[in-house]
Structure 1
Amino acid sequence: MSVATFNEHALGWDSLGDGPAEYRTPAERPSLEQAKVWCRELATSHYENFHVATFFLPKQVKPHFESIYAYCRVSDDLGDEVSDPQTATRLLDAWGGMLDECYEAPERSRHPVFVALRETIVAHDVPRELFARLLQAFRQDQVKTHFESLGELMDYSRDSANPVGRLVLWVCGYREESLGLLSDKVCTALQLANFWQDVVEDDERGRRYLPGDAMLQYGVTDAQIHERVFTAEFWRLMQSLVEQTRMMLHDGGRISGLVDKELGATLELFRKGGDAILDAIEAQGFDVLRQRPEVSKGKKARLLAGALVGKMRGMFS
């Protein structure tokens, strides 16, 4: 069942009322195959790099990552694409209830995400907490829009980013906490890199992820961000944040050499992608107020070529 066909057969909103239209719950439970198709179409149509990322993963786990991505995508959109925070919170609570149902009474699940996700949960004994923590972060987004320290951002990333990396490890058969902690560093650093890249876009949405205590330390104000005034003080702030983020990214990046080579190639691709964002910020003199730093197509191509070499080595060594 494609996303379009699914929407044609969806009757009513159930507990997801007022959410994005494409996420309606169907009147009848889809088959497992229909649910997988829905998740695959959602993943590949909403995220242009999804094909690239999953190409470097073992073939047998790709359907599981499609269902995990679909869960994350719907969760994010329920929190981010609904303008009223109270409505968004209610939708996230309803989605959380459907997650609980997927674990406790899976025969009652009707949404294709949870029909497909149930197979992943059973096949790999995935802890509910990893999915629930993501919802906690999206709920927090409804009430907290400014962060006053790097510690607050680290706490936020613990729920908003780190569970994704741990899900990747879990589904690939890695349960060691030492690997989980390295993954957390990479995921948190990637989250922070995106924040430093999107300062203007976030400001336009009424959000500020630059830590308030660091802004005070370097003499940067919220008004300066609103008015897009780049100064030597802002340069020093961004230079410091980029340096801290890069150190975290490289420290966590040691995980790539501690897992099998196929997975290692994927994790190294993500790590280098974060580095590329930080490089782009540095390349424009840390002036993220002038324009959003972008990774060039040539740089992306070189990253993919390097990851492909790593994958081939893993397959034939």
Structure 2
Amino acid sequence: MSSDSVLRRCERECRNLATSHYENFVIASALLPRQLRQPFYNIYAFCRTADDLADESPSPAIALERLSEFQDQLHATFAGHPPENLFLPLAQTIEQFSLIQQPFDNLLSAFRQDQTKTRYQTMDELLDYCRRSANPVGRILLKVAQCSNPENDSLSDEICTGLQLANFWQDVSRDYEIGRVYLPTDQMEKHGLSDKSLGDKTTPLALKVILRQQCDITERYFQRGLPLAKQVPSWFARDVKLFAHGGLTTLHAIRNVDFDVLRVRPKVSKVRQFSLVARAALGWL
């Protein structure tokens, strides 16, 4: 098989992986210029695969081993020797848009941390995790959109951190089931909330109080980041607004169940999701 055929096959695999997941990242790609969709798929395939290695491996030890191998493949790719898998089209994207390795390293660092660190003492600790687990994706996409600069990077960080935090507050119960607690320990102690209570069927008042405060704080991340939409090309502004409003809609879903996240997982309906995409496409967000 020729090298060009191998590249085309690997690109198809990245595209199939991306389009098989119903997530904002993939839906957002529909709003992109056609020539940028494959680079977005290549980046998504890297992020999705790393996330799956971290969360779907049989044990933390095996996850760390697999992530280490994945890190080695990333190093080889930036050194000009990509393996014939998702890294082959990713190498094309790296070269085309002069991407640097640090954001990719940061993502893998966060995924490895999830295998060994399951509690966060303070909000500062949690924000450091967000800096590596979420913010790098926004910075990579800004490079692809050719509008990366210190101000835009900072605004993107606000939105990405907001998305990560909103996901934490939405998934308190799910995370607890797999042994992770992202609520800062000092806040839980302040309100007399124990880890054990996170396994209850109904949400204690103390947890509702914490979540109400955290949702208000998280909303301000989106508000601070939304001006990014005015500083990037119009085609990319639609995606920026979609991500930010998607996060705000998640916060609304949490509030709509009165913060009772242990009884029911707050969800954004598919109708609401499609509405957001349509409004983004039409420039109505």
TM-score by length of 1: 0.85
Code of the residue aligned with 2:37 in structure 1: it is K
User: Distance between the aligned counterparts of 2:117 and 2:221, measured in 1?
Assistant: 25
Deviations along 1:157-211, one digit per CA (max 9) or x if unpaired, are 1111101011110101012011001101100110010010001111110111111
User: Distance between the aligned counterparts of 1:46 and 1:301, measured in 2?
Assistant: 15
The answer to whether structure 1 residue 84 and structure 2 residue 59 are counterparts is yes
The answer to whether structure 1 residue 103 and structure 2 residue 81 are counterparts is no
The answer to whether structure 1 residue 130 and structure 2 residue 103 are counterparts is yes
Deviations along 1:15-58, one digit per CA (max 9) or x if unpaired, are xxxxxxxxxxxxx9962111111110111113455552101122
From 52, 68, 72, the counterpart of 2:47 = 72
Structure 2 CA distance for partners of 1:231 and 1:49, relative to 1, 3 Å: closer
The answer to whether structure 1 residue 52 and structure 2 residue 50 are counterparts is no
User: Distance between the aligned counterparts of 2:170 and 2:26, measured in 1?
Assistant: 23
Aligned equivalent of 1:219:
192
Instruction: Report matched runs for 1:160-179 at 5 Å.
Output: 160-179=133-152
Q: How many residues align?
A: 284
Structure 2 CA distance for partners of 1:168 and 1:245, relative to 1, 3 Å: same
Code of the residue aligned with 1:104 in structure 2: it is A
Q: CA deviation at 1:305?
A: 2.2
Structure 2 CA distance for partners of 1:287 and 1:97, relative to 1, 3 Å: same
From 255, 261, 265, the counterpart of 1:292 = 265
Q: CA deviation at 1:128?
A: 0.7
The answer to whether structure 1 residue 193 and structure 2 residue 166 are counterparts is yes
Aligned equivalent of 1:62:
37
Aligned equivalent of 1:306:
279
Q: Based on CA coordinates, which of the two structures has the bigger radius of gyration?
A: 1
User: Distance between the aligned counterparts of 2:89 and 2:64, measured in 1?
Assistant: 24
The answer to whether structure 1 residue 147 and structure 2 residue 120 are counterparts is yes
Q: CA deviation at 1:123?
A: 0.4
Contact 2:170 2:254 in 1 (8 A): yes
Q: CA deviation at 1:60?
A: 1.5
The answer to whether structure 1 residue 228 and structure 2 residue 227 are counterparts is no
RMSD over aligned Cα, in angstroms?
1.9
Q: Secondary structure at the match of 2:16?
A: helix
Q: Secondary structure at the match of 1:142?
A: helix
Aligned equivalent of 1:183:
156
Code of the residue aligned with 2:280 in structure 1: it is A
TM-score by length of 2: 0.94
User: Distance between the aligned counterparts of 2:22 and 2:69, measured in 1?
Assistant: 25
Q: CA deviation at 1:301?
A: 2.9
Aligned equivalent of 1:283:
256
User: Distance between the aligned counterparts of 1:89 and 1:30, measured in 2?
Assistant: 32
Structure 2 CA distance for partners of 1:223 and 1:260, relative to 1, 3 Å: same
Code of the residue aligned with 2:107 in structure 1: it is L
The gaps in structure 2 that reach 5 residues or longer are none
From 3, 9, 31, the counterpart of 2:6 = 31
Q: CA deviation at 1:103?
A: 1.3
Deviations along 1:111-163, one digit per CA (max 9) or x if unpaired, are 32111001101100000111111111111111001112211111001111101
Aligned equivalent of 1:210:
183
The answer to whether structure 1 residue 262 and structure 2 residue 258 are counterparts is no
Q: CA deviation at 1:232?
A: 2.6
Q: Secondary structure at the match of 2:268?
A: coil
Code of the residue aligned with 1:191 in structure 2: it is Q
Structure 2 CA distance for partners of 1:80 and 1:111, relative to 1, 3 Å: farther
Aligned equivalent of 1:5:
none
Structure 2 CA distance for partners of 1:190 and 1:93, relative to 1, 3 Å: same
The percent of aligned pairs where both chains have the same amino acid is 39
User: Distance between the aligned counterparts of 2:128 and 2:69, measured in 1?
Assistant: 24
